Structure 1
């Protein structure tokens, strides 16, 4: 890897128009007052990094589920999948990854499977780290059938700052582990509802890397992992 690769990342096409807008505003700010222009430069660089889309090394071992998002594990609890996915009333273990405005916001498929249903629901824009955000906020939900017939749900949730969920996929498509399936603009969260009987291999507060960090192993009977902040 080149040294420049550490700082210069590919940018998703969705971000080009936003970077252009920030750059245009920055040019105007320089005309008004130079210090304001430099603030604009900083914000333009931040916008570019927000829409970065880095290459990830995706684990290929059968049965491994990876994180769908960069961020921090904010919730691990039992919950019923969104009603619009028609997955029944029985609770499943839900793992939530909270993304700050400094995280990469391109979301990736946790595990290989077929999209059986995509359901968008408008809603509020509460802080995405809150539990009630799963019920009240704007969301886009995917019901994915795995190769062994089991199903998972992946839910993109808009946050306090986020105002647009951008899906890249539709029902019937087959996705591979780590494949990009959408992004959320400017702060948000992604929930994963695990198959029954599967324990997560992550803990609250753990930092996640989309497409790389192992979230669960469908072939393991290891109990849920615990961690301690030190």
Structure 2
């Protein structure tokens, strides 16, 4: 399955690749050049297809858990001052997505959308400390039954040039459902209450809608 945000670019790339392959076959007489053009075109198509893949995942929904909103690697786990919405200290967990990761954004928790805002900005590399505040980004806050307000932020990277955000204020959303897409490299930050029990480690690879990022303290104590 491919994400709907990639339909236009997939169709356009497919047409261009077919054109290059056919033109090379009929009009390029040098064998190695013909082969190089055809193979290069097919490789580009494969890369585009893998980037826009949208694997369907069965979600074990839980009000006591925050699930990873994206596939990628945990690059930040720290206590920070969140200055856009909360104006107080939160636990930040950041996930970096390389170009080979699935780039679908999924709701990390079920609840009600309280805040959703787009910010134009720069295109610093996604792991840059200032990218969360200066890059093109969207900020979404979901009010949840157990964690209260949970904020996630989609951040464009050096290659990304478009963030798609489906969250609308007042909408009820379900954990693991499609929340948007970031095209060509990016990062997602989660801002959680200070009493959240973080269940991932720095540099750990996570899977969107599958990996538990944090639980409530009560849930963790019950498990132990």
> What's the TM-score, normalizing by structure 1?
0.86
Distance 1:133 1:208 in 2: 21
SS at match of 1:27: helix
Kindly name which structure, 1 or 2, has the bigger radius of gyration based on alpha carbons. Answer: 2
> Is the 2:63–2:110 Cα contact (8 Å) retained in structure 1?
no
Residues 43-69 of structure 1: CA distance to partner in whole angstroms, max 9, x if unpaired? 111111111111112123331110000
> Is the 2:107–2:175 Cα contact (8 Å) retained in structure 1?
yes
Distance 1:168 1:46 in 2: 25
Distance 1:80 1:141 in 2: 15
What residue in structure 2 maps to residue 225 of structure 1?
none
Distance 2:116 2:81 in 1: 17
Distance 1:100 1:22 in 2: 21
Residues 154-180 of structure 1: CA distance to partner in whole angstroms, max 9, x if unpaired? 100000100000112211111111111
Could you say if the C-alpha distance between residues 182 and 103 of structure 1 is closer, same or farther in structure 2, counting changes exceeding 3 Å? same
What residue in structure 2 maps to residue 132 of structure 1?
130
Report the structure, 1 or 2, having the larger strand content.
Answer: 2
Q: 1:29 aligns with which of 20, 31, 48?
A: 20
Q: Say how many residue pairs are matched.
A: 210
Shift in Å, 1:77: 1.4
Could you say if the C-alpha distance between residues 87 and 73 of structure 1 is closer, same or farther in structure 2, counting changes exceeding 3 Å? same
| Cα root mean square deviation, aligned | 1.5
> Is the 1:69–1:97 Cα contact (8 Å) retained in structure 2?
yes
What residue in structure 2 maps to residue 209 of structure 1?
207
Structure 2 unaligned residues grouped into runs of 5+: 25-33
Distance 1:208 1:149 in 2: 21
SS at match of 1:91: strand
> Is the 2:125–2:131 Cα contact (8 Å) retained in structure 1?
yes
Matched, 1:59 2:60: yes
Report the structure, 1 or 2, having the larger helix content.
Answer: 2
> What's the TM-score, normalizing by structure 2?
0.88
Distance 1:18 1:110 in 2: 28
